[in-house]
Amino acid sequence: MKWTKFKVKTVTEAEDIVISTLYDIGLEGAQIEDKVPLTALEKEQMFVDILPEGPEDDGVAYLSFFVEEREDGSLEVQGERTDAETVLEKVKQELEELRQFCDIGEGTVTVDETEDIDWINNWKQYFHQFYIDDILVIPSWEEKKEEDEGRMVLHIDPGTAFGTGMHETTQLCIRQLRKFVTPETTLLDVGTGSGILAILALMFGAGHAVGTDLDPCAVEAVAQNCEANGITPEQFELLIGNIITDREIQDRVGYECYDIVAANILAEVLVPLTPVIVNQLKKGGIYITSGIIDDREQTVVEAVKAAGLEVLEVTYQGEWVSVTARKP
């Protein structure tokens, strides 16, 4: 399937009005590229593989819109057949009208043709097999090498929304899980994403795992990764919802029934999560956190202690920190 992409160069302040205006003329699938820092809500909903600092916001935004091409090369917008030149002229006309009463910046438009693989699967070229200590992490589109025979293998296809296990925060959690998982372990993985931590805990010998995530896309990602690693639905249960604020999710997860709770999130989320998650831990249960940039270490340590937990260990990789604690 081919698409024609119309890419508008504008300013961040005009993103919403440009998107709304071009949606009104029938364009779809707005893709936003800018350097605006994440909001608190966006950070709360992004659980893994977060870079500590992005580039400085320069006020520039690129907005891409996609129109599906028909077999004869024509386009269809709002049920009417048209062509790229006509759509381009309409886009330019709308932008010029907007320019009369608001700053839209440069307002230039480029037109390109793309296929699904270019903007849905193109990220795969950057993800190759790698090692976490003695564990081989490998995607479905690569083959295991002969020298890796006998090594523990994690088959993982993260999809476009979730992490791969390559990030330092995930590796910190994996090493801590390996220290504490036993055959009797029941694990809760908060912000499970593609299910890496829970799946590896089960591979390490844990008896059962429950994961929670805000993103419904986690359902398919977890199902695919469980199947790839021989994990059955009975071993790993996934719940979609916010365990911090949703009492129903808290009830479904259960209270004082987990030997280990893992949370590879950001410090801003760990602070409100910790006093909630204490209720899910068994007495003597282990709380493994990561996703903490080094200058937020003390913030998380204080939140852990304030919740009545005993800090057992603080570990480091790069500029990231993991705090492991125990419920008395």
| 191 labeled part of a ligand binding site | yes
Instruction: Report the distance separating Cα 59 and Cα 13, nearest Å.
Output: 8
User: Comparing C-alpha atoms, which of 242, 301, 306 is closest to residue 275?
Assistant: 306
Q: What tokens does 234 get? A: 């009975």
Instruction: Report the distance separating Cα 197 and Cα 222, nearest Å.
Output: 11
Is 1 within 8 Å of 29 (Cβ atoms)? no
| 264 labeled part of a ligand binding site | yes
102, 202, 265, 276, 291 from 49: Cα distances, Å: 36, 22, 9, 23, 8
3-state secondary structure of 111: strand
Is 20 within 8 Å of 32 (Cβ atoms)? no
Is 200 within 8 Å of 164 (Cβ atoms)? no
| 116 labeled part of a ligand binding site | no
Q: What tokens does 311 get? A: 């800090």
Residue 45 amino acid letter:
Q
| 225 labeled part of a ligand binding site | no
- Give the 3-state secondary structure percentages of the chain, helix then strand then coil, rounded to 5: 35, 30, 35
Q: What tokens does 141 get? A: 């589109």
DSSP state, residue 166: -
Name the binding residues for S-adenosyl-L-methionine.
170, 191, 213, 264
Name the binding residues.
170, 191, 213, 264
